Structure 1
Amino acid sequence: MTDARHIEAQIYERLNKVIDPELGRSITDLGMIAAINAVGATSQGDGDVPSYDVTVHVELTVEGCPLSQTITNQINGAIVSYPDAKLTPHIEVSSMSHDKLADLVAGLKAERKQNPFNKPGVKTRIFAIASGKGGVGKSSVSANLAATFAALGYDTAAIDADIYGFSLPKLFGVHTQPTNLNGMLMPVTAWGVKLISIGMFAGADRAILWRGPRLQRSLEQFLSDVWWGDPDVLLLDLAPGTGDMAISVAQALPNAELVVVTTPQPSASDVAVRSGLVALQVPMKVRGVVENMSWYEHKGERLEIFGAGGGRRVSDQLTETLGYDVPLLAQLPLDPDLREVGESGRPAVLNEDGALRSDVLGRTFRELAEGLLRSE
């Protein structure tokens, strides 16, 4: 015979599978289930199914948590799908006390121990997207590549490391700030990608005049003070050139792989080579080259508006100088959607439903993403 205490224990076990979308942990492990009460069993004659009202007391990490509805929907689903009785769920939502939240955050920070991406056995593949100069579409490539990884089912994170010229919030349509859990930040998720950028914080619309040490500290904070979980892929959108941030990335993330973005014309490709040659000074491998704006398709004809061969020139020069193969990974078309759709807040490589486009642009980004993950 099923009784209330058995129901409560079974529901708690089922809630082990409900995962907090931000922290990536079970809501039971995080201490978010304060109590479960099952009452009101009906008579249980032959053929009767026992019926209970089940009240779950949920303590969210912060008041007004933006994902509270997602969590309560999952809890409801876990309860109503219970197979041995008819359960009517009632969810009572509150927020954790200051002391309970402080203990939770302290435990998470102690478990993570600063930069989570620079430790033995880390599974995350890290790609730093670089360019020699501005205006070649580096941030657009970063945003669409991140969106592609997410659309392909990979747990994806992205850091806007272009402190002076941040643009990922706009490209992903982000207008909110990260949730602050007692000094630990939750990245904002948009189009399946976990994001952090200086552009998400108050006052970020003002000119930023930071020198090397403060730039390095900003990257360290993005890595260590943000709860990333265990992403499969982390992308960094670097500032153009070979300045302080590129050096900081190499120091903080020696396992990062550099992807150089250029356009076809010599004036861009010659400068792009320099961004790849930073690998001679720091312990970072250049994974390959992406040529952006390679052609514009007009009435079935490919028009090479910016010339041709820039990506191949960068690839060949870096291969010769660095002493290992630096392939031309992809040639991306000049697609007006990259600007028009991107500026609307949706990465152009995605359809409105978040699925990857099946046209040339979508196929090229899919091949680029899959190629990067295949490489060793």
Structure 2
Amino acid sequence: MSDSVASSCSGCPEAATCNETPETCSLPPKKEKGSVRRLVAVGSGKGGVGKSSVTALLAVALAKEGKKVGILDADVTGPSIPKLLGIRALPEGSPLGMVPPRSPELGICVMSVNLLLEDPAKPVIWRGPLVGNLVRQFWEDVFWGELDVLLVDLPPGTSDAPLTVMQSLPLDGMLVVTSPQELSLMVVEKAMHMTKMLNVPLLGMVENLSFAECPKCKERIELFGPSHLDAFAKKWNVPVLGCLPWDPFISRLGDKGRLEEYADLAQGDSLDALATTFREILQLA
């Protein structure tokens, strides 16, 4: 097994004795989606682009349209979804599996390792196999109930947790999040190559932190330079779902666990358009 393949398979307990590649890996059969209509990973490969915020905001926008939405927080070592949505309750046990708690306003169900820790500020210092096993359990051992969409918030990188999600979950596709810098796109492209290798459809791209709007004159300011998204999406033949602004309200509401209120604010128009396009791609009436 080559070094690159060994690295990408590091989350698998069979890695030491397996001669297969990630593309041909014969893992146990994936658990079917059951009552979950659409299962979509949200990732970037690049840290710091606001991937978790985009995941939470998209869930909020879909929930405000009346959709039943859940988030599987696969960012085991850096979970932030419960904080953003103000979820503090513990998962509950049931004969059908763990029942994830819901957000206070819209009832978005969330499963995250931070909900299982006595102190959410303590780090999760685990090696790859443990991370991969936990992500798999969050799908197989959690009773998600009837959902229109379950979003899977992926961590940065192209190994362990992202690999487990793409190999073990019956994904309908992946939504790619980036930011305007060319450096971001360079790293994001690695994740897109991995997605293609594992035969997961690329549903589209979202550019976060695309611009800031002057509160006085409404001029759009490109904080990180001009966007390269259209040319990049054309290269990969994937649609652009939308561009989200840099908005200080997101930080303020997220810090307070009140991100569910964001879609009611002025900048919500960009988010609503993204949610509508995303819903159309997934063919959710």
Q: Deviations over 1:65-105 (max 9, x none)?
A: xxxxxxxxxxxxxxxxxxxxxxxxxxxxxxxxxxxxxxxxx
Q: 1:283 aligns with which of 196, 199, 212?
A: 199
Q: Which structure has more strand as a fraction of its residues? A: 1
Q: Deviations over 1:230-284 (max 9, x none)?
A: 2000101100121111111111224331111111111112211111111232020
Matching of residue 367 in structure 1 with residue 281 in structure 2 = no
Q: In structure 1, the residue corresponding to 2:41 is in which secondary structure?
A: strand
Aligned 8 A contact 1:291 1:332 in 2: yes
Instruction: Give TM-score, length-normalised by structure 2.
Output: 0.81
* Unpaired segments ≥5 residues, structure 2: 1-29
Q: Deviations over 1:202-247 (max 9, x none)?
A: 2453222223322221122111221111200010110012111111
Q: State the partner residue of 1:334.
A: 246
Aligned 8 A contact 1:216 1:248 in 2: yes
Q: State the partner residue of 1:192.
A: 107
Q: In structure 1, the residue corresponding to 2:162 is in which secondary structure?
A: helix
Q: 2:123 aligns with which of 185, 204, 207?
A: 207
Instruction: Give TM-score, length-normalised by structure 1.
Output: 0.62
Aligned 8 A contact 1:263 1:310 in 2: no
CA distance in 1, matches of 2:49, 2:135: 23
Aligned 8 A contact 1:295 1:303 in 2: yes
Structure with higher RCO (Cα < 8 A, 6+ apart):
2
Q: State the partner residue of 1:133.
A: 46
Aligned 8 A contact 1:272 1:314 in 2: no
Q: 2:226 aligns with which of 308, 324, 333?
A: 308
User: What amino acid does structure 2 have at the position aligned with 1:154?
Assistant: K
* Unpaired segments ≥5 residues, structure 1: 1-113, 320-324
Q: Deviations over 1:100-153 (max 9, x none)?
A: xxxxxxxxxxxxxx9341x6xx66112211012211100100111111111110
Q: 1:255 aligns with which of 171, 187, 190?
A: 171
The structure whose Rg is larger is 1
Q: In structure 2, the residue corresponding to 1:124 is in which secondary structure?
A: strand
CA distance in 2, matches of 1:260, 1:183: 32
Deviates more, 1:283-292 or 1:266-275: 266-275
CA distance in 2, matches of 1:296, 1:358: 15
CA distance in 2, matches of 1:229, 1:146: 16
Identity %: 34
After the TM superposition, list the runs of 4 or more consecutive aligned residues in structure 1 that deviate by more than 3 angstroms.
Answer: none
Aligned 1:122-201 pairs, distance under 5 A: 124-181=37-94, 184-190=97-103, 191-201=106-116
How large is the Cα RMSD of the aligned pairs?
2.1
**Number of aligned positions between the proteins:** 249
User: What amino acid does structure 2 have at the position aligned with 1:307?
Assistant: G
